[in-house]
Structure 1
């Protein structure tokens, strides 16, 4: 720049430092720093300028820019690799679960028995519980099908034998055995409905409206029987209303049918269960016969109409809802006492 003269800078009238680029020389861009000054006692204003070629500065900026681009590119690539590694190893337990499910589907196992990390252990426990529940459902379905087939086998054999022998009472035999088969089908359908409804965790029924409904229905059939019901009115059970009506209907109707004219029903709540006590003043049932009465088709008094399936239905439906039913002797009325316990909902 020794042989060149810098042009006058921009118009400003202050004592501040000004920095700007200048292209006053076509072959070279300058970086200029200038400042105005005034010597004390003098009226002359001086402008001092310092200039440098921008070539070196631009080269440094270019190097810095390339360095930043490479650094950010490597950082981005590293982050992508880290995210992939985190995803790969983070989902590793789920791949193990998938492999275990594939082994179950292939018949090599029936449970996920491999130890899993704490993050997926609750899910594996729920999955095993679901598999166990489905197995129980399938086993119950197979057992119901087998029981129904066994129950229908005898009536069909009787009909076939009567038809083969061209028996004179073939029509009566067919009607009688068909009624037996229908009772068996009704019994197994009732149990199947209860099993299907058991899956609803929100199943609940008010106890008192069901008792009142059954009391009215039984009272119309046995007008000479007095039915007394006592207990709190706000109780609920984890049972579908239709199943509760069926259980109470069978028990109260049996008490009215085989009792001496008085039926007493007591409802109470104990240890998370609602307990129904159905008592009558009949002759009762001998202790050695109380378990056998729950078998399908068993009737101790054949002189009165019935199918022998009522108590079996009550037991089966109560067990489906994790309840119990038992027979005892009534201390107050002297007849039979039936104790039905069902899970409380309130």
Structure 2
């Protein structure tokens, strides 16, 4: 029985996700450490190997070369023009056949003068190559005995020929010494590399332990065993993460509580109008239509108010937007002026043209628009808007030349549905909406008497976006 296409696609998608998923941090640290340690060990080992080998060979050749000045100083010519020593080198091994230490003096057209240790053998020397200074090489004259060869050209007094003085030694001891040192070197480097890998594994395990504890803490929070991440005994590198996690939890709890309160407020606000409508409908009241209009209008006010708060809360929680203040105020100036064109309303704007609100432009329009609309609606014809940005705070002052507000009623004006002037159309929710949205952004709104126009002065305080430094 074949699997359904949806199951097959889900399985393929899961497999692709697993293939594309990045490895764990521990695995990344271990792989990076392994690559780094392997590279350093291999590169360092090769470098040390070459350095030690070259040093041993150079010292070996230097010991051989000490015999050449003695040979050149003791060299003379016989009656046939061939070379001989008036005093042979004192090294005993030069007199022992096949001892592994040899010397030879050769020249073109002359007989070879050899040490007794060579016996019936002759060193194969390249006389066509000049060796005015010391020449060192590995010589394979004898199949069963590789040699290290040191050569130098010299002229024996009384002879026009150039003689080649050569000293050779069996390379087997040198090769054995190099092999032993090489084994020791690579063994030491291997042990060091294993120790470094173990240290990297320990660092990955112990160093990432706070992250594993954070994972367990998040699991406990999700399961409801704890409400917040403990901030005690937290490494400094993890402390900001813990603080941000707790802040996120607090914000989520506050948002949930606010949503619960809004839902309760809305349900309570709609309960009374609905009860009135049900009672009127059950009693077949004669003025049922008027009652429906009145109560529906009240319910709409409540719904509009809570919708405005819900939209502002959602934008505030999911956005880090920036809104220039001046263009928003200019749009509101044109819109409100057209609405009250028959009254000749004059709206003036002054202050900081570069002020920027740290929030959404729609919310700024909602708040400033309500204040400016109220000033134009209830004022005497003049509205003055002033913008001031002071560090991280932004203030928008809206003044009018109206009658103002009676003493002691400034706080009551923020209550939903309360209106001082019932002759003008409205819902009585404008200032309440302004206050609620401002509080969502951490701001506030204050009402006072205008010192310049004599009417109402509403001050809207909001967070200002930090301006970039000018180079």
Match of 2:402 among 268, 276, 281: 281
- CA distance, structure 1, for counterparts of residue 132 and residue 389 of structure 2: 97
- CA distance, structure 2, for counterparts of residue 258 and residue 75 of structure 1: 86
Q: Contact 1:256–1:280 (CA<8 Å) still a contact in 2?
A: no
- CA distance, structure 1, for counterparts of residue 209 and residue 311 of structure 2: 42
Match of 1:252 among 347, 365, 372: 372
- CA distance, structure 2, for counterparts of residue 124 and residue 175 of structure 1: 53
* 2:127 paired residue number: 11
- Asked if residue 123 in structure 1 is aligned to residue 241 in structure 2, the reply is yes
- CA distance, structure 2, for counterparts of residue 184 and residue 100 of structure 1: 41
Deviations 1:50-97 (A, max 9, x none): 343333222222212222221221122122122223333333333333
Unaligned runs of 5+ residues in structure 1 are none
After TM superposition, the structure 1 stretch with the greater mean CA deviation from structure 2, 84-93 or 327-336, is 327-336
* 1:201 paired residue number: 320
Q: Contact 1:219–1:225 (CA<8 Å) still a contact in 2?
A: no
Rate the CA distance shift 1:92–1:328 in 2: closer, same or farther, 3 A. same
Shift of 1:314: 1.6
- CA distance, structure 2, for counterparts of residue 335 and residue 54 of structure 1: 111
- Asked if residue 269 in structure 1 is aligned to residue 391 in structure 2, the reply is no
CA RMSD of aligned residues (A): 3.1
- SS of corresponding position for 1:313: helix
Rate the CA distance shift 1:221–1:6 in 2: closer, same or farther, 3 A. same
Q: Where does 1:134-213 land on structure 2 (aligned, <5 Å)?
A: 134-199=252-317, 200-207=319-326, 210-211=329-330, 213=332
Higher relative contact order (CA 8 A, sep 6+): 1
Match of 1:133 among 251, 264, 277: 251
Shift of 1:294: 0.8
Task: Give the paired residue count.
Answer: 344
* 1:92 paired residue number: 209
After TM superposition, the structure 1 stretch with the greater mean CA deviation from structure 2, 263-272 or 312-321, is 263-272
Q: Where does 1:52-63 land on structure 2 (aligned, <5 Å)?
A: 52-63=169-180
- CA distance, structure 1, for counterparts of residue 431 and residue 450 of structure 2: 18
Match of 2:418 among 295, 298, 306: 298
- CA distance, structure 2, for counterparts of residue 117 and residue 242 of structure 1: 42
- CA distance, structure 1, for counterparts of residue 152 and residue 455 of structure 2: 121
Shift of 1:237: 4.3
Q: Contact 1:279–1:338 (CA<8 Å) still a contact in 2?
A: no
Rate the CA distance shift 1:325–1:66 in 2: closer, same or farther, 3 A. same
- SS of corresponding position for 1:40: coil
Rate the CA distance shift 1:20–1:256 in 2: closer, same or farther, 3 A. closer
Rate the CA distance shift 1:146–1:331 in 2: closer, same or farther, 3 A. same
Structure with the greater alpha carbon radius of gyration? 2
- CA distance, structure 1, for counterparts of residue 417 and residue 139 of structure 2: 113
TM-score norm. by structure 2 comes to: 0.63
- CA distance, structure 1, for counterparts of residue 325 and residue 447 of structure 2: 24
Q: Contact 1:328–1:338 (CA<8 Å) still a contact in 2?
A: yes
- SS of corresponding position for 1:288: coil
- SS of corresponding position for 1:289: coil
Deviations 1:304-329 (A, max 9, x none): 43212112112112222333222233
Q: Contact 1:299–1:308 (CA<8 Å) still a contact in 2?
A: yes
- Asked if residue 316 in structure 1 is aligned to residue 436 in structure 2, the reply is yes
Match of 1:78 among 185, 195, 199: 195
- CA distance, structure 1, for counterparts of residue 451 and residue 159 of structure 2: 131
* 2:353 paired residue number: 234
Unaligned runs of 5+ residues in structure 2 are 1-97, 99-116
